[in-house]
Structure 1
């Protein structure tokens, strides 16, 4: 009778906190031989570290899956295909008013002067070419005033406002002098190079090096080249002696006449 009253007066297990003093006191008063489901569930505890009370005494093993099945998540978030505003569709008048309205932080609407200026290719082309032209002219002037030997003849920049015509003419004359001086230097350098080539050819012709193969000369030793030079010099001396003897015989005929020389050599 006491056990039935005690079990009847106890609240359900799911209403009590886990391991509360009230539940432990009630479980102590209930006898062990109670066959009710609630009492058996209340007095039965098994920790995870203890073995289960299966009749076979073996731990159940789950079946190994055939393959790994990852959780099914969508490849991408669902697209928002709904309207971008609350309410129904906008009317034609509202769309026209919305297209003409200027919102802060955004490009100007169509039909305005600012919109035509931003989207005009001709205006952007003029600005770009004008900027590049100004940079090119400035670079030329700075380079000319720092590298030209006639930069001391250039007028001051302040003279442009007082007499622009004379300022431009002076600049043109100085540029002409600069170009003439540069052409003279190039011609002189070309002449020196040509004279040097002619002298080398004459030297090779006198020493008999022009008749030899340059590839063979490349693989020869220095001693062989020096011996050949001595032999060529001796042969050239003999030829000069014979030429001087022949010139002595015909000296009366060539007296008073000067022979024209090319490049000052022959």
Structure 2
């Protein structure tokens, strides 16, 4: 049985862009699309959907939200297999559970609140931090579901060997037929720099070399058909990856088990790029 692309919908503009992105991803993978509505999203403020249906927003129900989203997805890809379901629980818990059997879960960067664009909604943060598989948070402007910058970016972390994030990014690049930019940020600890000009650049060269070696280790699994560009960049990983995101269709980062009673917790890098990237971000958990 094909694992579906699951997308959480609540009728907001952000979730509708997530539907577009998820429909494209499902078509690319020839996978079914599963639209999920958490029934406790009852205070929906779907002015955009209400206009589409010609009804006041107070009359819009979960059934209407799912039907409209399914129609939108099938208009985008008419051969797409689409299933819908209303789940009687909080959306973040529903989507984390759905992630166990999904190829990926897609969510909008924020839902019905009036938060600033730079911030994430609680559903996106929770799902990205606790899911059992890849989660794509659709960030960016109105073009987020249709951007064609023809480039995937992956951040290579501290333990590059057998990286689930790198595997996911390579697969995305292969499916789309686009190059992959693999980025390893590095920093030379300030205490290791010397006052003498003769030795001042030695620690920097060492850390840059270690970053280059990490890239080579991570990309040993790269398939022959994917063009991979390696980048070692000095600076904080959050800032470096956010800068690369401006020219990408998708930024991929990893997440590791950090304890807690509910799956994963996001590290500083993943948390930072989720808040500040200029394109959709895929958070891929690393199995232990």
TM-score range (shorter-chain normalised) is under 0.3
If asked which structure has higher relative contact order (CA below 8 Å, sep 6+), I would say 2
More strand by share: 2
More helix by share: 1
Structure 1 length normalisation: TM-score?
Answer: 0.15
Structure 2 length normalisation: TM-score?
Answer: 0.15
